[in-house]
Amino acid sequence: MAKRKKSAKKLRIFAPIIRGLTFLWRFIAKILGNSIRFIFRSSKELDPAHRRDGVAFFLFILALIFSAGIWFNLENFLGKATYSFLFGAVGQLAYLVPLIFIYFAYRIFRSPDETGDTGRITIGTLLILTSTTSLIHIVNGSVGTGATAIREGGGLAGYAISTLLIAVVTEVLAIPILVIFLIFGLLVITKTPLSRVFKQIGKLFKFGSSGIGNFRAKRAERLVADDFEISENPPFETPLVKDLVQEFEPEELDYEVELEDFDQITQPVPVVNSIKSEGTRPQQLLLSSDVKYELP
């Protein structure tokens, strides 16, 4: 009976404290709920452009926090927590996470209306991240269960995907499958179909073959020009050339003609005397009436 009385007294003492804590918890929960509902209700009333800017600013702030923890080794609770979280999630790829967040923030700032392209790039980025972390985990030789091995490899993401894939298709097939996923992610991000890639490769081969052909043709022309290069030395006489020249050139005279010889064969030129004209007066012709004259 005495024990029951003591327990009843203890309950009576702690009952008001429990009621007060319960009331305080409900009050805090109500305030938080009303605040969150007010914030979300107000955010819906914002202009869509401001909401997109808010998302971009949020991504940029996360990029700053991640860069402080990964690149600059921030020595506080936030820096250590960021380092442990990112390296535990994606392993060595954590060094690129701040750049990825900065890129998406910049893209939302620059082209907020291209939501379709942003979704496409997000899917391609996820494919690249998963395939890359898995490849890092396999190639790095850190397929272990310890936290250090996971951080030195591809993190929990790379560990989970690579372990499952190796268990299903072995490591020999897992690597080419992950490489295919990586290439597909790049094609999705760049919005490039595989057929266009093959066309570009064909153009490169054609350009290379035509370039080699042009190079060979120019080299042959240069060699021919070098073979028939005109020399500065005078040509030498050969019997064949001399015979041809004598055949086609007229025979030279054996004697010389002097200018004095031309005086002996000159002939005198006859001189014509001019007729002197006598001064006469002009006469008018008489016209008879029998003749009919017509002007031309």
**Digitized pLDDT (tens) for each residue of the chain, 296 residues in all:** 545 555 555 556 666 777 777 777 777 777 777 766 666 665 556 666 777 778 888 888 988 988 888 888 778 888 888 888 888 888 888 888 899 889 888 888 877 666 667 788 888 888 988 898 888 888 876 555 577 777 777 888 888 888 888 888 888 898 899 999 999 988 888 888 888 888 888 877 776 666 666 667 777 777 666 655 555 555 555 555 555 555 555 555 555 555 555 555 555 666 656 555 555 566 665 656 666 656 55
Which residue in this structure is represented by tokens 């597909």?
Answer: 184
State residue 257 phi and psi, 5-degree precision.
Answer: -105, 125
* Residues 203, 208, 209, 214, Cα dihedral to 10°: 120
Q: Which letter does DSSP use for residue 280 in this model? A: -
Q: What's the CA gap between 29 and 26, in Å, rounded? A: 5
Indicate yes or no: pTM above 0.95: no
pLDDT at 239: 56
Q: Looking at residue 53, what is its pLDDT?
A: 78
148 near 87, Cβ under 8 Å?
no
Nearest alpha-carbon partner for 153 in 70, 92, 86: 92
> 70 near 95, Cβ under 8 Å?
yes
pLDDT of residue 179: 92
- Residue 119's Cβ-count burial label (10 Å; 0-12, 13-18, 19+) is exposed
pLDDT attached to residue 181: 92
At 33 the pLDDT is 73
- Token pair, residue 23, equals 């009331």
pLDDT of residue 43: 56
Domain ranges within the chain, ordered by starting residue: 48-113, 114-216
